[in-house]
Amino acid sequence: MSAENREAPLLEVSDLKVHFGEASAPVKAVDGVSFSIGRGETLGLVGESGCGKTTTGMAIVNLVKSTGGSILFEGREITSIDHLSRAEQLQLRSQIQIVFQDPFSSLNPRMSLFQTLDQPLKIHGMAPQDRRERIDMLLDRVGLNPAHASRYAHEFSGGQRQRIGIARALALNPKLIICDEAVSALDVSIQAQIINLLIDLQEEFGLSYLFISHDLAVVEHLADRVAVMYLGKIIEAARYDEVFSAPKHPYTRALLSSIPVPDPKGRGEERQTIKGEMPSPFAPPSGCHFHPRCPVVMAKCKVERPSLEFVDEEHQVSCHLSTKQADTSLGTPKKGELA
Amino acid sequence: MMLKSIFAHKNLMFGGTIVVLVVLMAIAAPLLAPFDPVFDADLMNSEMPPGGEFLFGTDTNGRDVLSRVIHGARISLSVGLVTQILNTIIGVSLGLVAGYMGRFWDDLIMGLTNIMLSIPVIVFALAIMAALGPGLINLFIALGLTNWAYTCRITRAQVLSDKKKDYVKAAKSLGYSRASIMFTQIMPNILGPVLVIATLGSAEAILLEAALSFLGLGAQPPTPSWGGMLSSARDLLFVAPWLSIFPGIAIFVTVLGFNMLGDGLRDLLDPKSVGATKLGGVR
Amino acid sequence: MMKSNIPNSTDLTCAIKVVDLHVDFATAGGVLPAVRGVSFELEQGETLAIVGESGSGKSVTALSIMQLIAKRTGRISSGEIVFDGQDLLQLDEHKLREMRGNAISMIFQEPMSSLNPLMKVGHQVGEVFRRHLKVDRAEAKRLSIEMLRKVGLSAPERRYNEFPHQISGGMRQRVMIAIALACRPQLLIADEPTTALDVTIQGQILDLIQDLKSENEMSVIIITHDLGVVAEIVDYVVVMYAGQVVETGYAREIFEQPRHPYTKALINAVPKLGLRTRTKQRTRLEEIVGTVPNLLALPAGCAFCERCDYAQEICSTSAPSMEVVGARRSVRCHFDLTKKDRHHER
């Protein structure tokens, strides 16, 4: 699914920057991020809280204003949509939709399920009869009972609310859906239902996903390609199997090894924890942002910032070690190193 | 369910009953009142004490106090209703704009709100009345334009918290216009607290009307207004106390009713309020 | 760790024993039975996990041990919680207060809301020493700084004077652990201690709990929904569903051979890290259809019946009871998954 469509990506983000605060001392929430998403492709965007992954997603749908770089959707510049006419804005809005993390705050408590789906269709000028048909179709696809259409958000369970959120995102027939931690707040049994639903809908409607998550196991399950973010930058990007079987950046390795695996047989193997915490974007470290926590830090890392380079046809890494030698044999961090 | 939780709130029950009774009294005033409050004046019956034909006695002009008190409910309630509708419309609109648009609009509106809050309503209303002259319509205007600051503040605070919620982000990304996000998405969510403020505000407005009428600025004689009745009974407090007592009780009970209703609504709309079920024998 | 193979081990090795605990809550819709007859035993020095989804009653069970159920709405209606030879439910408020934070401590999911935002973190640790050990101010400060160092805070002398909002989420959880462990409790109850934390921080906190556990010879109860955490550090598992325990057993047994359909479904519902990369294909996750039953209107039979792949007629009419099937191993199901004669899936 990934390789064939690389020539004509649906979404192309290049050198995206979102800086907050004073121009003299900006907080660089997103600092030069580039990636593309093909038609029908899922890009997993992973990282710890505060790494800028959600801000990146919000910038793509223009909920956060980007301060630099460009976002192309089907070859069209959408970095800022203020200059577009209302009709053009509406057309664009219908193409890219979001599914949010919190199934409770993402639905308007004063609107019934029917209104939640009907209003956007109405805004986009659909006739009442067509709207009703479309709503029935949507409810059927996401597995909700049409008889419940008059119910309000609080009458649904968390999983059902997330289905409503997905139906709302699907309502305008988008090409790209940004899933911002869309399954993170759900119980395990419900999470499986929603993940399966997302996969089914992708196949049926040919959707592309930007799947933003901190849960690497879920991302591995869903994504075709994975980009790892750290402090506003992408530090590694590759096909999912590359990232999970041969991670090249020390941070990706650390991230993978700190996940507790639900199998007690693996307990003998030492879990590798990295020391410290992600630094504040208010005061990013010099050189490579990861160097204070890096187990294989070199003198060069403290002064010179590595750039994201291809080490392989489809594998990009931002690390002095990887770019110097294609094949790296990185040391392993010691267990139990603390801040 | 809903009914059950209404019964569980004593304030709501009690206040609601009072308000409903006062409203009924106002609506059915011509039927309930034994005499016409204005034209049935008979100086022969001047200042009769309560009892006999005149249950609440008569005033200096020989008019039945009971009939005047009953008709007075119309004035008081219309003051409460009209001023609160005006206040709510102004407060909610300004609060929505301040909270949602932010920046310049927020500074401007909050500055205005703070000025409004720093001048006592009665002084402000007096100033307007002084400019417009006494009269019921002018009183509506004076009270309706001066008491929106709390509604505005509450609305703005609610908008600021709702603005960050995902449902508003979703609405934006679905292409809702700014106005429809403000009025169709956010506004329904703030009407609960606004209703509470309006109910409590009604009580305040009724008191203010009484005060302004007492000062001779409200409804002009011979219109039967509770405050106006108190005003004209001022000099006769010891000679004919019923002239003060009955309108006084009417004001007291109505204001109490609105206040309890407001408190009750606040409890009812508070999601944290506990349900009616009781557990026996807590250990 | 040594484990005794004798079922129903004697009280000497037992850290805490919960017997037939029932907890009810008052709601607008009626009395909600949040915990319905929960029993389990925790041995000295053991780490026990109560696993379940939201609404399973796992957190309520933990709060009951500390007796932190809000009296206005909740009530422990029956049961026994035996700790140190006495039933905690019979203790008066004074004795309870002495025990809380001293012999039994608790840490919560959200460290920001469990710390006092207006108090320096050092003072919050020091307060525990002053209350329970009756030491003076200077000594409390010395002990607090030592404790903050022990939980891995860098520059504890500086952190001592900082407020909760000035430190990160991971550090706040460390401070909570410092407070909880200040008086070297015999039992630590951790309610989703790592759920709000990032994965790299989660690893650090789990390691810390493990290290401090062996150092202080304490027993730990972890409330979690994360089977990864369970597999990583837990000895003994109690699986809860709809207010009841549905399966108990040692972690290894639970993962290798789950006996309750719910436990099995729970294990299979999470994506396995590395599986898709290894097999190059996406195996469909096993869904548990439907949602948890409404505790206000529980079905007559097994609470899991409607979502169960193996349900038979009897499941909808009669509620199964807890069957002991091995050493400290029990299951609440009419059709134990390991029994050979049951291959008729629905």
pLDDT of residue A46: 94
Q: Is B278 on the interface with C (CB under 8 A)?
A: yes
pLDDT band at residue A189 under the 50/70/90 scheme: confident
- How many other C-beta atoms can be found within 10 angstroms of the C-beta atom of residue A66? 22
Name the nearest CA neighbour of C302 among C291, C287, C313.
C313
Q: How far is CA B146 from the centre of its chain?
A: 13
Do C225 and A73 meet the contact criterion of CB atoms below 8 Å apart?
Answer: no
pLDDT of residue C64: 92
Q: Six-digit token pair at A189?
A: 């049994």
How far is the C-alpha of A171 from the C-alpha of A133, rounded, in Å? 11
Who has greater pLDDT, C201 or C83? C83
Residue A156 and residue A208 share a domain = yes
Name the nearest CA neighbour of A144 among A128, A131, A157.
A157
Q: Which of A198, A230, A262 is the last residue of a domain?
A: A230
Tell me which chain A residues have a C-beta less than 8 angstroms from the C-beta of C199: 48, 214, 216, 255, 258-259
DSSP for residue B58: B
Q: In CATH, what number is assigned to the domain containing residue A160? A: 3.40.50.300
Characterize the bridge pairing of strands A225-230 and A208-213: unpaired
When CB atoms are compared, the residue of A196, A258, A338 closest to C287 is A196
Tell me which chain A residues have a C-beta less than 8 angstroms from the C-beta of C284: 196, 199
Distance (Å) from the C-alpha of residue B248 to the closest C-alpha of chain A? Answer: 41
Residue A79 and residue A185 share a domain = yes
Q: How far is CA B266 from the centre of its chain?
A: 15
Q: Is the torsion defined by CA of A306, A307, A311, A314 positive or negative?
A: positive
Query: What are the tens digits of pLDDT across the range B147-196?
Result: 899 899 999 998 998 888 899 999 988 888 888 898 888 988 888 888 88
pLDDT of residue A267: 65
pLDDT at C87 over 80: yes
pLDDT at B275 over 60: no
Tell me if B176 and A120 make a contact (CB, 8 A cut-off): yes
pLDDT band at residue A332 under the 50/70/90 scheme: very low
Tell me if B277 and C31 make a contact (CB, 8 A cut-off): yes
Q: Is C144 on the interface with A (CB under 8 A)?
A: no
Residue type at position B195: L
Q: Which of A200, A230, A260 is the last residue of a domain?
A: A230
Residue among C22, C23, C31, C67 with most chain B CBs within 10 A, to mutate: C31
**What domain count does chain B have?**
1
Tell me if B1 and C27 make a contact (CB, 8 A cut-off): no
Name the nearest CA neighbour of A182 among A158, A153, A151.
A158
pLDDT of residue B24: 92
Q: Which of A199, A230, A261 is the last residue of a domain?
A: A230
Angle at C191 between CA C189 and CA C192, to 5 degrees: 135
Host domain of residue A56: 4-230
E strands in B200-256: none
Q: Residues of CATH 3.40.50.300 domain(s) within chain C?
A: 14-103+183-331
pLDDT band at residue B87 under the 50/70/90 scheme: very high
Residue among A229, A263, A272 with most chain C CBs within 10 A, to mutate: A263
pLDDT at C6 over 70: no
When CB atoms are compared, the residue of A61, A105, A108 closest to B173 is A61
Distance (Å) from the C-alpha of residue C111 to the closest C-alpha of chain A? Answer: 16
How large is the average pLDDT for residues A179-202?
91
Side-chain half-sphere exposure of B133, counting CA atoms within 13 A:
1
How large is the average pLDDT for residues B100-117?
91
Q: What is the mean pLDDT of chain C?
A: 86
3-state SS class at B206: helix
pLDDT band at residue B268 under the 50/70/90 scheme: confident
Residue among B6, B274, B277 with most chain C CBs within 10 A, to mutate: B277
Tell me if A221 and C266 make a contact (CB, 8 A cut-off): no
How large is the average pLDDT for residues C250-278?
90
Residue B70's contacts (CB-CB under 8 Å, 6 or more residues apart) are B25, B29, B32, B33, B37
Q: Is B102 left (phi over 0), alpha (psi -120 to 50) or beta?
A: left
Angle at C55 between CA C105 and CA C250, to 5 degrees: 60
Q: What is the mean pLDDT of chain A?
A: 86
**What domain count does chain A have?**
2
Q: Do the domain assignments include residue B40?
A: no
3-state SS string over chain A?
CCCHHHHCCCEEEEEEEEEECCCCCCEEEEEEEEEEECCCCEEEEECCCCCCHHHHHHHHCCCCCCCEEEEEECCEECCCCCCCCHHHHHHHHHHEEEECCCCCCCCCCCCEHHHHHHHHHHHCCCCHHHHHHHHHHHHHHHCCCHHHCCCEHHHCCHHHHHHHHHHHHHCCCCCEEEEECCCCCCCHHHHHHHHHHHHHHHHHHCCEEEEEECCHHHHHHHCCEEEEEECCEEEEEEEHHHHHHCCCCHHHHHHHHCCCCCCHHHHHCCCCCCCCCCCCCCCCCCCCCCCCCCCCCCHHHHCCCCCCEECCCCCEECCHHHHHCCCCCCCCCCCCCCC
pLDDT above 70: percentage of residues in chain A: 91
pLDDT of residue A1: 43
Tell me if A216 and C199 make a contact (CB, 8 A cut-off): yes
Host domain of residue B27: 2-34+48-269
Residue A176 and residue A81 share a domain = yes
Query: What are the tens digits of pLDDT across the range B38-51?
Result: 777 777 777 777 77
Q: Which CATH number fits domain C14-103+183-331: 2.60.40.10, 3.20.20.140, 3.20.20.100, 3.40.50.300?
A: 3.40.50.300
Q: In CATH, what number is assigned to the domain containing residue B102? A: 1.10.3720.10
Characterize the bridge pairing of strands A42-46 and A27-37: unpaired
pLDDT at C261 over 90: yes
Distances from the Cα of C106 to the Cα of A14, C71, C238, angstroms: 48, 19, 18
- How many other C-beta atoms can be found within 10 angstroms of the C-beta atom of residue B231? 22
How far is the C-alpha of A64 from the C-alpha of A55, rounded, in Å? 7
Residue A214 and residue A289 share a domain = no
pLDDT band at residue B5 under the 50/70/90 scheme: low
Chain A interface with B: residues with Cβ < 8 Å: 58, 61-63, 86, 89-90, 93-94, 96-98, 100-102, 105-111, 119-120, 123-124, 165, 168, 171-172
Distance (Å) from the C-alpha of residue B273 to the closest C-alpha of chain A? Answer: 16
Q: How many CB pairs under 8 A join A and C?
A: 153
Tell me which chain A residues have a C-beta less than 8 angstroms from the C-beta of B176: 119-120, 123
How large is the average pLDDT for residues B226-252?
85
pLDDT of residue B128: 87
Tell me which chain B residues have a C-beta less than 8 angstroms from the C-beta of C30: 277
How far is the C-alpha of B204 from the C-alpha of B210, rounded, in Å? 10
Do A106 and A151 meet the contact criterion of CB atoms below 8 Å apart?
Answer: no
Interface list for C 247-266 with B (CB within 8 A): none
How large is the average pLDDT for residues A167-180?
94
Q: What is the mean pLDDT of chain B?
A: 83
Q: Which residue has the tokens 């907890």?
A: C23
Residue A256 and residue A109 share a domain = no
Instruction: Find residue C51's DSSP bridge partners.
Output: C224, C239
pLDDT above 90: percentage of residues in chain A: 51
Residue A287 and residue A177 share a domain = no
pLDDT of residue A38: 93
Tell me which chain C residues have a C-beta less than 8 angstroms from the C-beta of A275: 204
Query: What are the tens digits of pLDDT across the range B190-202?
Result: 888 888 888 888 8
Q: Do the domain assignments include residue A71?
A: yes
Tell me if C202 and A258 make a contact (CB, 8 A cut-off): yes
Q: Do the domain assignments include residue A243?
A: no
How large is the average pLDDT for residues C33-59?
92
pLDDT at B265 over 90: no
pLDDT at A339 over 50: no
Query: What are the tens digits of pLDDT across the range A112-155?
Result: 999 999 999 999 989 999 999 999 999 999 999 888 999 988 88
pLDDT of residue B217: 82
Q: Six-digit token pair at A311?
A: 């080490």
Residue A87's contacts (CB-CB under 8 Å, 6 or more residues apart) are none
ipTM of the complex: 0.83
Query: What are the tens digits of pLDDT across the range A204-260?
Result: 999 999 999 999 999 999 999 999 999 999 999 999 999 999 999 999 998 888 888
pLDDT at A273 over 80: no
Q: Do the domain assignments include residue A329?
A: no
How far is the C-alpha of C302 from the C-alpha of C309, rounded, in Å? 13
